[in-house]
Chain A
Amino acid sequence: MDEIFGIPAPLLFGQLLLGLINGAFYAMLSLGLAVIFGLLNIINFTHGAQFMMGAFVAWMLLNWLGLGYWWALLLAPLIVGLSGVIIERTMISRLYKLDHLYGLLLTFGIGLIIEGVFRNYFGSSGLPYRPPAELQGGWDLGFMFMPVYRFWVVVFSLVVCLATWLMIEKTRLGAYLRAATENAALVQAFGVNVPRLITLTYGFGVALAALAGVLAAPIYSVNPQMGTNLIIIVFAVVVIGGMGSILGSVLTGFGLGVVEGLTRVFWPEASATVIFVIMAIVLVTRPAGLFGRA
């Protein structure tokens, strides 16, 4: 059995694995979006720009301060997360009483401004960023060549997703967060500082985007428009998984990565569309998403 549906089995296995790797990026980005939407009720359209900022901060740390990949993994999410906190405090917090649409427009605008500023200072051709020496090279798995770095991306993002889920579902902080999502006024009445909780949540969601940006820097072109393409797919992932569902966005992220990977073998031209077809079907049959509560 070395052929499945007319495709050599080794090629198919390779594609499944690659799909899983891309799914890791979708999962991390949609996780951040889901966390932010769950508590803030804001659809964060700046997410793509913040993903891009993560990659650029990694480049700046390396080229301006001599701090390598491992430092970037720690510092870039902190720095970009902090910028998110400032954006939330100074701008987004003014919109909570208004319709969703205003938050969407504001974050979309901020995203465009950030991209424009980066293009102004760094040009558009992109910047070189190499994986760290420890993660270069790869293993020959027989059916495909597996770069060490890709393997690292899958493992690392699985750990991050799991940790986030545990924090939200199993810790006291997570309990506050979930309670504030249900009824913010009541939680505040119990003495929890809800505005601060909201600010930190936004910062955390943004930090997740930046972390994904650092992970992406060695394999995708680091340029100001790098977030734009990815983020549209990630929004579809969030919609399919169910707005605000943490577990849903992670599972959907990995699942759709695999679906997309397989489409690339059987019908490459449709690989960018397949996720949106699934989104349309899900919206018609289960408007709340696969894991969302109606």
Chain B
Amino acid sequence: MTETSRRTVLAGAGALPIAAGLALPRGARAQGAPMKIGLLSDMSGPYRDLNGPNSIAAARVAIQEMAPRINAELLVADHQNRPDVGVNITRQWFDRDGVDMVLNLAASSVALAVSDLARERNKVAIATSTATSDLTGRACNANTIHWVYDTYMLAKSTGGAMVRAGGDTWFFITADYAFGHALERDTANFVRNAGGRVVGAVRTPFPGTTDFSSFLLQAQASRAKVIGLANAGTDTTNCIKQAAEFGLARRGIKLASMLMFISDVHALGLETAQGLVCSASYYWDLNDRTRAIARRIRAGVNNDTPVTMAHAGDYSATLHYLKAAAEMGAAAAKADGRAVVARMKAMPTSDDAFGEGTIRADGRKMHPAYLFEVKSPAESRGQHDYYKLLQTSAADDAFRPLAEGGCAMVRS
């Protein structure tokens, strides 16, 4: 039962910021002081399913894989999406517990604060579940790497690729606050650049909107082919649920969700989510390698939550970090976080989750981005068989060009 595993994890991770050390399995051959990795994420709140227990399992898989070459330990804590809590835990980890790298970070506000602290203490911060592209732009630093996705990639892949796939008129349903506005603006730019047209937009009060049917009706009246959902979490699921109820898909209107994880599709059920379009940089059923890593991660958990791109990122980032540390030697890697990040950027990445890739000077991990459509229940052939691939963007095409981000490290 998922309930049991949730309880176990909560007991371990704690609703309060308690760090729980997870020891390395016996039989590890590497010698010397272990590298300490702190998994800092949302373990109990709204982003728990796309991080949470599966993230722990994913990091453990990487640690085990590298065990013959380097010793590593995993610590876990819940930041409750509060920057103050996240910073306090990280400070304690760096100053008292000897943690060398903080992983995952999730919420943008927490990630920006923790990344700054990593620079100050010369440690390493790797964001695998964070949206803001500022992390490799204005706020970039030599101790931080941004894995998996960012707002630019989502807006470009979903906005641009969808126009090329025929969805050339758009109507936005936008959460009325900074995040929603930014996502709408970025996506609209890509829609126009690709030759599409934005025929309308509606700003919905946030928080406090539960019924979106009025807005969906306005979107339908605009005769747009695509409704772009520039919102997140419950707003998105409510929109999708109510769009299904009002039969929008049957009228040929596509829903494009700007920020959506496979765990959200899992929660909605295919009956409701079918036809929805979204972007991701990892899906478990892309090829033999992605299937293999999903199997290994899921072997470490006792739940029904699909492996999200954030989980894949936790594995991939931990693996590459440990490879760099192993080459430098644990002592040197523990002494200088900036040097580890420089080494990580110098080495090409290679793993089952994202294939071959690189890390750019501004800290952006480069890999392809994929545009997916959610399958109908009839098309789905098994557990978590939710997506069909619409389009692939090559790494250089998927992310913001190096010169446009405004990262100080690039100019110098």
Footprint of B on A, CB under 8 Å? 8, 10-11, 14-15, 18-19, 21-22, 119-128, 130-131, 138, 144-145, 147, 149-150, 218-221, 223, 225-226, 229-230, 232-233, 261, 264-265, 268-273
Contacts and interface: CB of A to CB of B under 8 A. Distances in A.
Interface stretch (B130-138, B182-190, B237-245): B237-245
B28 interface: no
A221 to B, nearest CB: 4
B391 interface: no
A127 B267 contact: yes
Nearest to A225: B234
B241 A123 contact: no
Interface string B46-89: 11111000000000000000000000000000000000000000
B217 A14 contact: yes
Nearest to A232: B208
Nearest to B251: A145
Contacts of B2: 123
A149 B213 CA distance: 13
B269 A130 contact: yes
B121 interface: no
B45 A124 contact: yes
Contact of A120 (B44, B205, B268): B44
B211 A273 contact: no
A144 B217 CA distance: 8
Nearest to B211: A22
Given A120-B44, A221-B237, A232-B208, A261 B214 contact: yes
Nearest to B45: A124
A153 to B, nearest CB: 11
A268 B204 contact: yes
Given A124-B49, A125-B264, A226 B10 contact: no
A124 B10 CA distance: 14
29 contacts: A10-B221, A11-B217, A18-B211, A22-B211, A119-B44, A120-B6, A121-B7, A123-B2, A123-B6, A124-B49, A125-B237, A126-B237, A128-B272, A131-B245, A144-B217, A145-B246, A147-B245, A147-B247, A149-B245, A219-B211, A220-B238, A223-B237, A225-B234, A229-B209, A264-B218, A268-B203, A268-B204, A271-B204, A272-B209
B207 A147 contact: no
A220 B218 contact: no
* A-B CB proximity, top 10 nearest: A272-B205, A128-B269, A125-B267, A272-B208, A264-B214, A221-B237, A124-B46, A125-B49, A126-B267, A268-B202
Interface in B176-234: 176, 202-205, 207-211, 213-215, 217-218, 221, 234
B209 A271 contact: yes
A167 to B, nearest CB: 29
A144 B216 CA distance: 11
B288 interface: no
Interface string B1-17: 01100110010000100
Given A128-B272, A219-B241, A271-B205, A120 B214 contact: no
A9 to B, nearest CB: 11
B264 A269 contact: no
B371 to A, nearest CB: 22
B264 A220 contact: no
B379 interface: no
Contact of B214 (A128, A130, A265): A265
Contacts of A145: 246-247
B238 to A, nearest CB: 5
Given A126-B237, A147-B245, A220 B6 contact: no
Nearest to A262: B214
Contacts of B214: 15, 18-19, 261, 264-265, 271
A125 B263 contact: yes
A229 B210 CA distance: 7
Contacts of B268: 126, 128
Given A121-B6, A229-B207, A273-B205, A8 B221 contact: yes
Given A18-B211, A147-B247, A270-B205, 9 more contacts: A15-B217, A18-B217, A19-B214, A119-B45, A121-B3, A125-B237, A128-B267, A265-B214, A269-B203
A28 to B, nearest CB: 14
Given A145-B247, A265-B218, A269-B176, A220 B241 contact: yes
A197 B145 CA distance: 64
Contacts of A272: 205, 208-209
Contacts of A119: 44-45
Nearest to B236: A221
Contacts of A225: 46, 234
